[in-house]
Structure 1
Amino acid sequence: MTSHTALLSALLVALLTAGAPAAQAQDAAKASRFYEDALQRYEKHDIPGAIIQLKNALQADKSQLPVHVLLGKALLANSEPSAAEFELSEAIRLGVDRAEVAVALAMALNAQGKQPQVLEDPRLQPTGLPPGIRQQMLLERALAQSDIGDTKAALASVMEARAIHAGEVNAWLAEVPLRVRSRQFTEAHAAADQALRLAPDNAEALYQKASILHATGQVTQALSTYERALKLQPKHAESHLARAGLLVDLNRDADALAEINELQALKLNDPRGAYLRAVLAERANDKATARAALKRVTDLLDPVPIEYIRYRTQLLMLNGLAHYGLGELEKAKPFLELAARQQGPGSPLTKLLAQIALNEPNVNRAVELLDAYVKARPGDGQALLMLASTHMSQGRHSRAVALMQEALRAKDAPEYRTALGLSLLQSGKVASAADELAKAYKADPKQTHAGLALITVYLREGQMPKALAVADTLARSNPNNATVLMVQAYAKTQSGDAAGGRLGYEKALKLDPKLTEAQLGLARIDAAAGNFDAANKRLRQLLKGDERNSDVLFELALLHERQGKDDEALKWLESAADASGARETRANFALVAWQVRKGQPARAIDAAKILLAKLPEDVEALQAYASAQAANGDPVGAKSTLTQAARRAAFDAPRLLEVARQQVGIKDYSGAAYSLDKALSGTPDFMPAMAMLSSIELAQGDAAKAEQRAKQVIQAAPKSAIGYNLLADVALSRAQAPAAIDALRKAHDIDKSQASLTRLMQVVGTHSGPKAATELGEAWLKRNPGDLAVRSAVAQQNLLGRDFASARLQYEAILKQRPNHAETLNNLANVLMATKDPGAVSMAERAYKVDTRNPMLMDTAGWANHLAGNGDRALQLLREARLRAPDVPEIRYHLAAVLAKAGRKGEARDELNAALRTSVNFASAADARKLLATLN
């Protein structure tokens, strides 16, 4: 740099800095003016105005310590504790003595939920502070210790503060809430009385005295003491709030509303006033106002960081209860959990948390909460009822029964008998359940649930007159209850009175035109009558109002399945599952069952995983998953899943029976025996379990034991077909066909069902020939021409007798009613192939189009194309079928035949060897061996 350049630079710096001291002085003066104005505003309680001026001061000069101190205190007064903490900490950093701001800083930290920091921060230690400041700091520490639940330490801090100056009123008032929380009311009274002796006209002291009277149930004295406090200090917000709450409890709603108005005039943003307003509105059945008030509570408290209020039990409760009242359970949960934890296991909030857990669903958590609550408050009938209902939902019906019997010993209440009846009903003790429900309903006709459950019992037992009698009685006493009218309509429909059912649903709709369930009931009546267009139109109309209504979508699936439109049915079912919420699972269950039934195991597994994610602890969901695993060729996985299901089913006999049936399906006989033994240990006279045990004993090769148990079943239930079916099984295992047929005829004479007939036909066909079997079926069809199951069984017997013409007629008759029924289309395609009918290919392709993922339909279509000379199409279909079902030897044989014809002998040979390793007795095994011989 030249000397000339250096000189110019020096001059420039001098010019730029020459005015700095003057500018800084101007900024300081400007900041000072802002500060002074702010201080006046602060003293006049214009806190927002003070904050604006203090921020202006800081813009002018960030170094002024008074500005930081006053801004910190103003922000604290304006309910901005985080910002206050920053400014007060900055003041200390810049050199302010901690005694000037320590108490305010402790208050800011307490307000943010940073109570541990109040106790640990070296800046806030009482030691070294002036006596008056130290006393205030000790009281702030007492508040922090109380908030975190250390009442003993809090009392010690209060006593230490009092020792500094016993004449300080606050040192006595701080003791009162600590004593009340510990239910030490004598000591609380003594502290409040001493505070009043020191300051007889202190409104806060009177408020604390009134709070003790309030807590001890001295309502009249509490009200008058709150009034005295308000006469001394009309703007004492806590007294207005407490008095309003007490008046609400006394049902003095008009007086309570006046107090709430006073409170909200003083503190518009106090969520406690908004909550009390919601309580009054709810009591007045003013739903809109109640909801708006609850929304006001959450609008005020939700923006507040949870750390700020985590030790403020009352605010936690308010926000939790407000969200709960708004139906926002997920939002309510964290607030209620924190509040309940601070109140202990006997907190009434525990029951709400248990309800939330049930809705999630997290049943184990609900049981854990309710168990702890019942131990703390053993006489709470509502909690016992909830706990019993929870156990009932998990199949632990014996536990539910015990709980309700315990509740009844304490108090004979109709609602307890209702719960007991429901528990007994679920445990399979139908007679006892009906007795308890009848008692509950007789004792209190308002026990609508008991009446509705009785109707269910009677309908299940086929006692239509009794079901209708209860339904009619309920409807007469509840003429404006749409739910009751719908149940009555359902009972009428089930009894065959479609016209009465329609009338009932229409009455329900007059009460509530938006009642979807009634519309669904009408759609079902239309569908049952064959009025598919009317049903479809009604359901489509419902979708216009809510296109993701899972119930409507599900009914559309059922409607299209009834019409034989399987592709449409699946589309609607998938839509229903997709639209279902976290607690809606009917469509998910149905979708798993559909995919399993249609031979789509991979998709069944996917659907089952979604279901299990919704209901991870649910026995039925585990069963659905197991069925998908079994269909997917994973018997080991299915066995493990069903073992879990049996464990979680507790002693629910009907549910354990279902689990056992699935275990039998995967040949896990020991697992099934365990499930059935467990069912019988809870319900020794549960006949279906006894019957299945007989079947299992037979499967395990113990025919004698199985026969003995079958005879026990017949003796226990001579009017049931089960025992005779078991005897037939035993006879068949011994190759005693005449004895089996005799037993099956007796079974069919008892229940006269299509199931008993088709089984009889099967055995008769095997023993006496297809003609004898078809005669049985044809006689039935003359009386029941619409029975497609029996018609299909007749067609099967026709096939066995090689009467292809008759089989074709039967399948064509079925297709007139169910034109897109894949199984029937497939069977007819096989008939056409057997008769060398050129229509076989189009029929098989038609079946395949109904369910393009079904390997059995692919196989039929592939073989039909092969026979028709369409080699490329046959190879395409059969390769995919083999990949989907590698364990089906028939498919491997068909593929091998096509490969051999195409000159791929090595590949064909591999397929044939694999098929014959899988089974040596499949339908085309002889043809497979012949073909293999030509390839070796």
Structure 2
Amino acid sequence: MLKPYLLAGLLAGACLSPLALADRAEDASRYYENALTRYERHDDAGAIIQLKNALKEDPRMLPALVLLGQAYARRGEFAAAERVFADAERLGAARASIVTFQAKAYFDQGKYQALLEKFGDQGLPSAQRLEILLLRAQSQMALSQFDAAMRTAQLAEQVSDGAARALALQSRIHLNAGRPQEASASVARALQLAPRDADAWNMQASIAHLSGNLNQAVADYTRALSFQPDHLEARLARAGLLLDLKRDAEAKVDLDYLQKRFAYDPRGAYLRALYYGRRGDGVRGREALIEVTRTLSQLSPEFIANREQLQLLGGLAYYALNEFERAKGYLVQYLNKRPREAGARKVLGAIYLAEKQYDRAIAILEPALKAQPGNADTLSMLGSAHMGKGNHVKASSLFQEAAQAKDSPNVQLGLGLSLIGRGQQDAGFVALQRAYQKSPGQEQTGAPLAITSLKRNEPKKAVAVMEAVLKREPVNLSARNLLGVAKLGAGDRAGARAAYETVIKADPAFHAAQLNLARLDEADRQPARARQRYLGVLKAEPTHVSAMLELARLEEAAGRLNEAIRWLEKARSLQPNDLRPLLALSSLYLRQGNAQQALNTAKEAQAIAPDQPNTLMTLAMAQIAVGNAGLARVSLRRISQLATFDPVWLSRVADQQMRIGDTEAARYTLSKILLADPRTLTALELQIRIDLQTGKLADADKRIAELMARPDARSQAQGLLGELRMQQKRYAEARQAFQIAHASQNSSDSLFNLYRALLATSQINEAAALMASWSKQHPQDRTARHALGEAWLLLKDWPRARAVFAELVRSNPNDARAHNNLANVLLQQRELAAALSHAERARALAPNVPQVNDTLGWVLVQQGQAEKGLRYLREAALRAPDNREIQSHLNAALVKLGKR
């Protein structure tokens, strides 16, 4: 069947021989089907063995990975489950298929903050959304974020069939927050809605337990267990309560059940130790305590750090075993929840600042400030330490206090930079101006002011500042180079060239000016002269990475991709710890459609600098390209934290968050941009996009009208108007708006917007003509050629579609999207052998793309190899559970095999 889909990027990898793997794939499928039967019979151990056998035959078998994670989780092996689900996510399992399992594995390990950061409820079906909301609320409660937990639980209450469970959880939140009356009221409502809900009865029992009504608590725990025998918390609570009531024989029933079904939970083992200790059975009691400590040692430190109950449990268990050193570790962790204290001296604090050990500097300097309150130097140093940590709010407060104690240019400079960092752009700029006014003509304060002026699009101010600096320091070559940058920003190309040439004449080895001059040559359409300048820098300094990066960019623009890669690889080999070649190489691979290579290269960069925004953005883009939006969300949210209030970075982050549907995070990022600069055009565009994505079309319409009134934003406003009309299904108006925007912008984005509108209005011939014209003018634009081929597919013009995709395959044999579409064309032309060859090649290159798996599976079914095809169709359905065509193919294969 036809699948004329548009993909931003596909994985690339080695081509595997399908004949060599055919038998192994069949064996993997048999192991999986047997494991599925075992799992359904609750034979988790047997299922795990068979699933491992399946994965041994086919390590990328996605259904086997997902089922293995479920089996591990049911056995209490939560860390193993997390790892397996992460593998499944990396291989492209649909978010809705695994998100609840993943989040539960995080929760059961006590990774509450990580759960909140990674797993949101946006875009999920109601059943999965309910589970995620409940897990988020429980995580917030575990972190003592009671108000947030209550808000989340109230959202869960609104989800279909979620009211009773959500009310039971609200009851627990009230109870933990010290509101017993509200807790009772909430659980009463829950039981009224669902009289057989185990969570509600467990909560009712907990309230009775805490109020001292112990017999009633036992009865209510028993009711909970009658409805759900494997309710862990109810079973543990009843066992402990029965021991307190000295009803040991009844408690033993629960203890045996816990040992059989929940052997991984150390609380059950500790209760057994108490039981045996009461009976004088020291041997069994000691064995139970050893089991407690053994289980605790297998838990992550993060898990124990978030579970005070386990901290106390570990301390008591190790104490009973006379392992006092370990007991102290647990008990100190349990009792000591205060921030670390340390003594300090200013000199040592200065050393830590120089070493960028900001936490140690703060710990050292704070006692010094207590000893000398109001000391301007200490306040300024503390401000620098907090600014280094990205805590600009705290930093600016300290600098302001220092300025009151003893004002100086350095204090005002620090204040200005910290205010800009916290988003107060105007106030920060004023402080930088004050710093400069206190020492006019000084580069130390003039350069930051000039750079900030350039960022504010005020290049003439930057020129004036740097000319004043050069009047005071005429031989300062760095200042003159910056003057060239400022003049170029002000539109004075001749002045910029003169500044760069003056620097080079004074010092030919000043390579920054050489590179700036070469870029100016490029802008003046003199690429040959620019290339000679870059090569000249390399002749003088063969390891100059920046020159190699510029040459790579120049070669790529000329269409010489192999040369571009050669320069980047050379730079990478010469400077293995320099991020720039890796980031440039990853981006180049991404532009070529080699998403897996892009991701692998981005991961290398991340290993060098895990908290650099550039690294994380490159990683996020590659993660998006391979279909792993979940990990991209994490990367983008981390950039948002690191970027503080930098509007450029925040705009890039919000744009990508919108792209992957992380609307809640995009809205938060946007709020930071607007706080920094409420009038910025990028932020206003993003605000409209969020309105569009969240269905607030009236708000979007109003904001677009406001944007249309700005002369500098009319083409952007037309593009946004087109998107609004597309959502409103007013396709003719959308096409008109996109035509106006494209006429002005003539960009790839505006092109594809118009292409979408033409398809929506069934003007497929016009869409094909549009792409044909663009492709003729931009022969290097493979995305446009793909779109052209897919337009021919829609028109069922098989010969033209075949010609386009065959050329794409010829020019890049690793283009999985082209192979996949060519396979579909050949399938329509009934050339099944050739279709299979291209479908297998596509999957070897892009094993994570659901449509690619579907194509291969369906071609095999059409060839009469339904058993082989089923394995790929199952994987496609797991990756894209809402795709009707894939589900149709899967159902047809199951019917053909007599399995449905």
Which of 871, 891, 905 is the matching residue for 2:852?
Answer: 891
8 Å CA contact retained: 2:617, 2:636? yes
Q: Which moved more, 1:509-518 or 1:564-573?
A: 564-573
Deviation at 1:659? 3.7
* 2:774 is the alignment partner of 1:810: yes
Give the equivalent residue in structure 2 for 1:836: 799
Any idea what the Cα deviations from partners look like across 1:55-99, whole Å, max 9, x if unmatched? xxxxxxxxxxxxxxxxxxxxxxxxxxxxxxxxxxxxxxxxxxxxx
Match of 2:485 among 474, 490, 512: 490
Partner of 1:421 in structure 2? 416
Q: Is the 8 A contact 1:396 1:651 kept in 2?
A: no
Match of 2:550 among 544, 555, 559: 555
1:636 is the counterpart of 2:636: no
Pick one of 459, 467, 470 that aligns with 2:465: 470
Structure 1 residue 612 corresponds to structure 2 residue 606? yes
In the alignment, which residue of structure 1 is the partner of 2:503?
A: 508
Partner of 2:799, secondary structure, is: coil
1:743 CA displacement: 7.5
- Residue aligning to 1:573: 568
Q: Which residue of 2 aligns with 1:352?
A: 351
Q: Please list every run of 5 or more consecutive structure 1 residues that lacks an aligned counterpart in the other structure.
A: 1-342, 771-798
Q: 1:555 to 1:356 in 2, by over 3 A?
A: same
1:310-349 correspondence runs (5 A): 345-349=344-348
- Preserved contact between residue 889 and residue 922 of structure 1 (Cα < 8 Å): no
The Cα shift of 1:346 comes to 1.6
| Matched position secondary structure for 2:606 | helix
**2:766 counterpart residue number:** 801
Other structure's SS at 1:508 match: helix
Per the alignment, residue 859 of structure 1 pairs with 820
Q: Aligned equivalents of 2:646 and 2:610: distance in 1?
A: 18
State how many pairs are aligned: 551
How far apart are residue 450 of structure 1 and its match? Answer: 3.7
Larger Rg: 1
Question: 1:530, 1:431 → 2: CA distance?
Answer: 37
Partner of 1:786: none
One of 804, 809, 825 as aligned partner of 1:845: 809
What is the aligned counterpart of 1:408 among 391, 403, 412? 403
- Offset at 1:723? 7.0
Look up the equivalent residue of 1:587 and give its one-letter code: P
User: Cα gap change, 1:506/1:810 in structure 2, threshold over 3 Å: closer, same or farther?
Assistant: same
1:426: Cα distance to partner?
3.9
Following the alignment from structure 1 to structure 2, what is the Cα–Cα distance between the partners of residues 393 and 662? 27
Q: Which moved more, 1:836-845 or 1:536-545?
A: 836-845
**Which of 636, 657, 665 pairs up with 1:663?**
657
Deviations 1:390-434 (A, max 9, x none): 544554333333233223222332333333333344444444344
Report the CA distance shift for 1:445/1:867 in structure 2 as closer, same or farther (over 3 A).
farther
Letter of the 1:421 partner, please give it.
G
Contact 2:375–2:405 (Cα < 8 Å) also in 1? no
Instruction: Return the alpha-carbon distance in structure 2 between the equivalents of residues 756 and 731 of structure 1.
Output: 17
Matches of 1:739 and 1:484, distance apart in 2: 52
Residues 375 and 754 (structure 1), Cα distance of their counterparts in 2 relative to 1, 3 Å cut: farther
Identity %: 26
Q: Which residue of 2 aligns with 1:181?
A: none
Contact 1:592–1:605 under 8 Å retained in 2 = yes
Shift, 1:653, TM fit: 5.9
> What do the CA deviations read for 1:516-557 (whole angstroms, capped 9, x no partner)?
211211222233334333333332332244433322222222
Aligned CA distance change for structure 1 residues 661 and 829 (closer, same or farther; 3 Å):
closer
In structure 1, C-alpha distance between the alignment counterparts of 2:771 and 2:611, rounded to whole Å = 47
Query: Could you tell me which amino acid in structure 2 is paired with residue 484 of structure 1?
Result: A
* Alignment match, 1:314: none
Output the CA distance in 2 between the equivalents of 1:375 and 1:570: 56
Deviations 1:116-155 (A, max 9, x none): xxxxxxxxxxxxxxxxxxxxxxxxxxxxxxxxxxxxxxxx
- Compared CA separation, residues 536 and 426, structure 1 to 2 (3 A): same
Maintained 8 Å contact 2:726/2:757: no
Q: Distance in 2 between matches of 1:369 and 1:858?
A: 62
Question: Which of 571, 579, 584 is residue 585 of structure 1 equivalent to?
Answer: 579
> Do the aligned partners of 1:407 and 1:416 also contact (CA within 8 Å) in 2?
yes
CA contact (8 A) 1:727 1:740 kept: yes
Shift in Å, 1:512: 2.0
Q: Answer yes or no: is the 8 Å Cα contact 2:503–2:510 preserved in 1.
A: yes
Residue aligning to 1:733: 727
The Cα of 1:695 is off from its aligned counterpart by 3.6
1:603, 1:372 → 2: CA distance? 50
Q: How has the CA–CA distance of structure 1 residues 417 and 586 changed in structure 2, closer, same or farther, with 3 Å as cutoff? A: farther
Find the aligned partners of 1:828 and 1:692 in 2 and give their Cα distance.
Answer: 29
Are 1:427 and 1:653, in contact at CA under 8 Å, matched by a contact in 2?
no
Q: Distance in 2 between matches of 1:464 and 1:809?
A: 39
Superposed CA offset, 1:156-186 (max 9, x none):
xxxxxxxxxxxxxxxxxxxxxxxxxxxxxxx
- 1:841, distance to aligned residue in structure 2 (A): 6.8
Distance, in Å, in 1 between the alignment partners of 2:761 and 2:657 is 33
| Residue 530 of structure 2, aligned match among 524, 528, 535 | 535
Counterpart contact for 2:362–2:385, Cα < 8 Å: yes
Q: Is the CA contact 2:423–2:645 (under 8 Å) kept in the aligned structure 1?
A: no
Distance 1:386 1:709, change over 3 A: farther
Cα RMSD (Å): 4.8
Paired residue for 1:521, among 494, 513, 516?
Answer: 516
With over 3 angstroms needed to count, the CA separation of the structure-2 counterparts of 1:678 and 1:483, relative to structure 1, is: closer
Equivalent position amino acid for 2:766 in 1: G
Amino acid at match of 1:891: V
**Residues 1:408 and 1:877: Cα distance change in structure 2 (over 3 Å):** farther
> Contact between 1:395 and 1:655, CA under 8 Å: does it hold in 2?
no
Compute the displacement of 1:634 (Å).
3.1
CA contact (8 A) 1:414 1:447 kept: no
User: C-alpha separation between the residues in 2 aligned to 1:700 and 1:534?
Assistant: 50
Q: 1:867-925 deviations in whole A, cap 9, x for unaligned?
A: 99998776455324224434545434554576467664554566567657866998998
Query: How much does 1:657 deviate?
Result: 4.8
Q: 2:430 aligns to what?
A: 435
The TM-score, its normalising length taken from structure 1, stands at 0.49
Offset at residue 571 of structure 1 (A): 3.2
CA contact (8 A) 1:889 1:916 kept: yes
**Alpha-carbon contact 1:577-1:591 (below 8 Å) kept:** no
The letter of the residue matching 1:844 is L
CA distance in 2, matches of 1:813, 1:735: 31
Q: 1:743 to 1:845 in 2, by over 3 A?
A: closer
CA spacing shift, 1:382–1:521, aligned 2, 3 Å: farther
Residue 417 of structure 2 aligns to which amino acid in structure 1? L
The C-alpha deviation readout for 1:567-586, integer Å capped at 9, x for no partner, is: 3323323443444465x433
Give me the whole-angstrom Cα distance separating, in 2, the residues matched to 1:363 and 1:632: 37
Distance 1:858 1:521, change over 3 A: farther
Taking the aligned partners of 1:555 and 1:916, their CA distance within structure 2 comes to 44
**Cα offset, 1:609, TM superposition:** 3.2
Partners of 2:630 and 2:363 lie apart in 1 by 32
- Asked if 1 retains the 8 angstrom alpha-carbon contact of 2:470 and 2:479, the reply is yes
CA contact (8 A) 2:667 2:690 kept: yes
Paired residue secondary structure (1:564): coil
* Code of the aligned partner of 2:776: E
Does the 8 Å contact 2:820/2:842 carry over to 1? Answer: yes
Mapped contact 1:426–1:652 kept (Cα < 8 A): yes
* Contact 1:508 1:515 survives alignment (8 Å): yes
Does the aligned pair in 2 maintain the 1:549–1:579 contact within 8 Å? Answer: no
* CA distance 1:746–1:437, shift in 2 (3 Å): farther
Per the TM alignment, residue 483 of structure 1 is displaced from its structure 2 partner at its CA by: 0.9
**Partner AA of 1:843 in structure 2:** E
